[in-house]
Amino acid sequence: MSKKAAQTRKAGYFAVSPLMIFPETMGRFSVYLKQGGSYVLYCGPDEPFSEEHRRNLHDNGVEEVFVLSEHKERYHAYVEENLGAILADEGIALKERAKVFYTASVSIVDEVFAKRLPQSLDVKHFNRVAALVRSSARFLSMEQSLKTVASFVSHDYKTYSHCVQVFVYTMAVLSTYEHFTKESIFQCGLGAILHDLGKARIPKSVLNKRGSLTQEERDLVNTHPVQGVAMCTGLPEMGHEAINCVLFHHERMDGSGYPSGLKDEALPLPVRVIGVADVYDAIISNRSYAKAVSPFHALKVMRDEMKGAFDKEVFKRFIGVLSGANIV
């Protein structure tokens, strides 16, 4: 065994598909092959990984290559930079692309909330979110993408994963409408993935409280749409459609929502879609005050116990999208 191979045995590694390493790109990380119990350097950080390299590995049955654990952040940054190309590459299995999308999305949005930003969402984080929405919108409109992404959905409620999941459902439903432009889809996607941004200003002790909130705590939580708008107003590319989605996602068709008590036609269509997706994802998740229920039961609760709250046509489309993905 070479000295190099012996040294690498002591290091930590994580496996990735060779199809995740894009030709003629350099990600500032090394790629290793596993031979017996050792990891052997295959491609260094300054060596472009060629199409021939990638296909040879895959065609010869090499299903995993390895990256040093200490380079995990570099690898994730590389995936983020190439996400659009990854999601568009039909040579990569749909499940693999869905996994990459979900992992990257949750990681990006988690960082937004982990910062606990007191004033506003900084441009750097916003640009990452915007790039994510642009690179994944087309992928999420594909017929089989929701079904595949759904297998990775978390049912333990966390604000950041919830935002990603609402984004996924929203994109799937909006793709059933023909009149939305590419820019409108992007704006609605931004609004969906940032809809709960204002919760970054709400104390975790309140958000994660077990049992009923006091009226004071409830009033505080109910400020999160306005807080969210305050945190992202003025950011580049954050248009009025996205702002509306953040501000009005808790409004209801019967006027029972907040913060403005809007109703009926006063609610833009994308807001109605996000409202349905938001409630559905919350009900199918384990929250601090309620256990998760099945998708079928969640839809039944929304239909029978929340009559008048949702746009009937949007709700019908939502059910159709879930049914098409074999989720209900």
Q: Which token pair is 292?
A: 């998760």
Structure-token match 């459609």, residue found:
241
pLDDT tens readout for residues 268-317? 999 999 999 999 999 999 998 889 999 999 999 999 999 999 999 999 99
Q: What Rg, from alpha-carbon coordinates, does the chain have?
A: 22
Q: What percent of the chain has pLDDT over 90?
A: 66
pLDDT at 4: 47
Contact 232, 121 (CB under 8 A): yes
Nearest by Cα to 325 from 130, 118, 176, 137:
176
**Residues belonging to the chain:** 328
pLDDT at 187: 97
Q: What percent of the chain has pLDDT over 70?
A: 96
Nearest by Cα to 318 from 257, 275, 265:
275
pTM metric for this prediction: 0.89
Average pLDDT of the segment spanning 90-94: 87
Domain boundaries, the chain: 1-81, 94-324
pLDDT at 312: 97
Nearest-angstrom CA–CA distance, 217 and 309: 23
pLDDT over 70 at 238, yes or no: yes
Structure-token match 């990380």, residue found:
29
Average pLDDT of the segment spanning 21-27: 77
With the CA atoms of 196, 198, 204 and 205 taken in that order, what torsion angle do they form, in degrees rounded to the nearest 10? Answer: -110
pLDDT at 17: 83
Average pLDDT of the segment spanning 163-178: 96
pLDDT over 80 at 3, yes or no: no
**94-324, CATH topology level:** Hypothetical protein af1432 (1.10.3210)
Considering only 52-56, 141-145, 164-168, which range has the smallest mean pLDDT? 52-56
